[in-house]
Each structure stands twice: as C-alpha cells, then as structure tokens.
Structure 1
Amino acid sequence: MELPVFTKDISDTEMDRMLANATEASNFLKAISHEGRLMILCHLVTGEKSVTELEDLLAARQAAVSQQLARLRLEGLVTPRREGKTIYYSLTDDRPRQILEVVYELFCKNG
C-alpha cells in the first residue's frame, strides 16, 4: 500500500477531509492505546465474549473490565448484546482486527 502525497496546493475541501480523517484516526488510536482495552480487543478477535469471560481471561475486576468496555463502546469499536442477565460483547467491525494484525506483526510474532 502506498501512502498519498500531499502538496502545498491541496484544496480546502481536501484539507478539511484530511483533518476529519485524522481526527477519527486519532480517536480510534486513543481508544486502543490502553493495555486493558487492547487486551479486550485481542480476546474479542476470536469471537463474542461475556463480561464474565473477559474478567476471567484478563484476571481483572468487573469494574475495571466494564470501564474499558464502556470506552470501547463509546468509540464504536465493540457492540453489546444482552441475553438475560448476561451481556456479551463483539467487535463492531473489522478495524480492530486489522490493527491488531499489524500490532502482532510488530510486537508479538517473533518475541
């Protein structure tokens, strides 16, 4: 993949679109920049999980897991589903999986 090249004569419309995209990307990256949220996304890549399953997988308290899930939900990265008293979470779309593949290649694969 080749990144676009921007010149000084970029139009105002194109600059506005670029700024909007940068804002969206920045918010996305901030949402995944916490190790707890990153770990939740790593677990959700393999499929839907309940809050209790995530607590067990992360060895974390319910309050901490719920707080991180709330941030991921706010950013539109995870989607909740209620079944009785149990809440399940899944990835909203494929963006987290794509980023996690790059993170895995850079930080996990050979180490």
Structure 2
Amino acid sequence: MTTDTLDLQDMQAAAERACELMRVLANPDRLLICCQLSQQEMCVGELEASLGIVQPTLSQQLTVLRNADLVATRREGKNIFYQLTSTSALAVMNTLFQQFCTTPTTRSKK
C-alpha cells in the first residue's frame, strides 16, 4: 500500500467504480468472455465456438460488456471483433487467472 490517503468522498467513488466492475464480471458467461478477450481479439463466431455460449446469450453478454466500457469493437466485413480494453478489467482477469487457473504447484498456497 502507498502512504497516500484518500478522503472519504474519493474512497466512496473508488468503491462505487470497483463494485460496478465486479458486478459486471460476476456473471460466468461474461467472465469467460473476458478471459478469452484478455488473451486476444476475437470475433463473435470465434467466441461462440470456443466458449460454447449460444448466439443470443453471447450477444446479450457482449452488450453488457460494451455498455460497461470493458470491450471495444471493430468491424471487418461481416465480422465484428471484440477486444478487452479496460485496464482495470484486464488487471482483475490477470489476478483471477493467477489465483484460479494455474496449476496448484505454481500457485501460491494460502
């Protein structure tokens, strides 16, 4: 921790932003999507094939991620590509990967 202290209003604003990020990530489908997009940009068809999330659900969850400004899109022909652009979300995904997705021998034991 740093020696800088936040005043109460700044702490409350930071807590609100953190809670909003965690609320968006607290859905298994959205978490899987962010995990994939933390590794590389992908189009909807690639996400559907790799995650097994059916199109209507996938589109709905991508909309939530777009509305929360966690992902950005680009169009190439008929394909829409998504990438994780939120540095906060990427930091959370990296931590979650380290804590839950590595083998027990490489993970620190608590």
Note the alpha carbon deviations across 1:2-26, whole angstroms, 9 max, x for none.
26697xxx8xxx2111111111110
Query: Does 2:63 correspond to 1:62?
Result: no
Structure 2: tracts of 5 or more residues without a match = 105-110
AA partner of residue 26 (structure 1): C
Deviation of 1:105 after TM superposition, in Å, equals: 2.0
Q: What is the RMSD computed on CA atoms of the aligned residues?
A: 1.9
Residue 17 (structure 1) aligns with: 10
4+ residue stretches of structure 1 with deviation over 2 A? 3-6, 93-97
Alignment match of 1:100 (pick from 89, 93, 96)? 93
Q: TM-score, normalised by structure 2?
A: 0.84
AA partner of residue 88 (structure 1): F
Q: Secondary structure at the match of 2:30?
A: helix
Report the Cα distance in structure 1 between the residues aligned to 2:102 and 2:42, rounded to whole angstroms.
Answer: 24
Note the alpha carbon deviations across 1:22-42, whole angstroms, 9 max, x for none.
111100011111111111011
Q: TM-score, normalised by structure 1?
A: 0.83
